[in-house]
Amino acid sequence: MSFATETMPHPAGRPLGPSPFASAAPSILVALASLVAAGVWVAAGAALPGGRVMAVHLLTLGAVTTLILTFSEHFGRTLTRAPSDRHIAWPIVTTASIALLLAGLATGRLPLLAVGATATLAVVAAAAVRLRRLRRRAIGARFLWVVRTYEAAHGLFLVAGVLGAALGLGLVTGGWFTGLRLAHLHANILGWGGLTLLATLVFFGPTMVRTRIEPGADIDAARLLPAATIALTIAVGLLATVGLDSAWSILARVAAGGVLAVVATTGTAVLLPVIRAVGRAKPTGPRPAVLASCVWFVTLLWADVAVVTTGAWRLLDPLGAAVLLGVLAQAVAATLIYLAPMLLGRSTTAREAIRRRLEEGATRRTVALNLGVLLVVVGAAGVLPALPLVGVGLGVAAAALLAAALRLLTLLIRTRPSAAEPSHRRQEAP
């Protein structure tokens, strides 16, 4: 099963059938709108409900969670060769539950927040059950380990959700608060976002830059990711107890750091072949963002080991900002840039034209975004405290993301596939 798509171009102007990602279009629009909204919230600061913290939730819930649910389902069905696509009700239910959760967070209305959080947890739980059924029914699929990793990521999201609810409702106090917050962050960011991204980048990272997966990369990932999943689960459990009495706290964080070193080692081994493949590829719109996301990912995995082992908790904020902006936001941007031509173009000529438009300024936008991330990290870490590095960095990063999002929205508005173009049933490999 090959995941390198469109490496052999069709004759110019040949009409194409619907994209295999067509059913994901509503969720992609939601993610794109969430990215724009996150940029607006960053720029507005405290002038909008929820302040800049709301921008984090718009990114993690509105964009990242929406896309994870959509593409874990899409790739789960593709990799297990399931015949049907997701029902139209799922993106509606997903968007509605996340919208309620975001509205509750922005307004501070506890009932709204509780309903939205419960509905979102129910959606993720149902998605995990569907993935498990797909995997168990599959026979001899090469990338079945990807679906298994998706299942584990969904499970860690449920753990993070329960912990987040307990923290948000004030049910946890004292030393337990510190530990459960650490566990919540790792289950959510490294579990839900990190594991999903690791598994997906192995085969989809090279695809996005129109090259092939490095030989043996999938075999190594299939062997290593189960160890990373187990290690991360153990680390979440250890981190939950870090806030207890001092003697156990030291033992727990050192042990958690050691276990997270396993996650960092396996994650690095999984990502290095992706970095090499992407680095050798020809320039494309998504390439700079994919490469930068992978490099940040490897760097931050090891930085997290150092922070947890030493107990330097003040560095968690810059570390979290780097993961959100440097890894997750760039991965979302790269995915949207890759998918736009497939969703908007109905002929090879149209798709190539859209790709060229998206390639214009892609490197500049990526450099600006990563400069912004670096400024945020340095500022939040307390380096050069006399300079407003965090605000400047957030502004630069938000401007870069907004520029990419607005370019996509402009293409979406201006592109009108002709009804006269004939439609073929040929589908591209995802």
* Domain locations along the chain: 22-413
pLDDT at 124: 96
Alpha carbons 45 and 59: distance in angstroms, whole number: 15
pLDDT at 417: 46
pLDDT at 85: 64
Q: Phi first, then psi: what are they for 196, rounded to 5°?
A: -60, -45
Cβ-based neighbours of 306, under 8 Å, separated by 6 or more: 257, 312
pLDDT at 14: 65
pLDDT at 408: 81
pLDDT at 342: 84
- Half-sphere exposure (CA, 13 Å, Cβ side) for 35? 33
Q: Which CATH architecture has domain 22-413?
A: Up-down Bundle (1.20)
pLDDT at 430: 46
pLDDT at 340: 86
Paired residues of 15 in beta bridges: 347
Supply the Cα-derived Rg of the chain in whole angstroms.
Answer: 21
Cβ-based neighbours of 392, under 8 Å, separated by 6 or more: 372, 375, 379
Per-residue pLDDT of the chain (430 residues; tens, 9 = 90+): 444 433 334 444 566 667 778 888 888 889 888 988 888 888 787 888 888 889 889 999 999 999 999 999 989 988 888 876 666 788 899 999 999 999 998 888 888 988 999 999 999 999 999 999 989 888 777 889 999 999 999 999 999 999 988 887 778 888 889 899 999 999 999 999 999 999 999 999 999 999 999 999 999 999 999 999 999 999 999 999 998 877 888 999 999 999 999 999 999 999 999 999 999 999 999 999 999 999 999 999 999 999 999 999 999 989 999 999 999 989 988 998 998 888 887 788 888 888 888 888 899 999 999 999 999 999 999 888 878 999 899 889 988 988 888 888 787 777 654 333 343 333 344 4
Q: Alpha-carbon torsion 17, 21, 27, 31, what sign?
A: negative
Q: What are the CA-CA distances from residue 268 to residues 26, 222, 272, 302, 374 (Å)? A: 33, 14, 6, 9, 21
Paired residues of 347 in beta bridges: 15
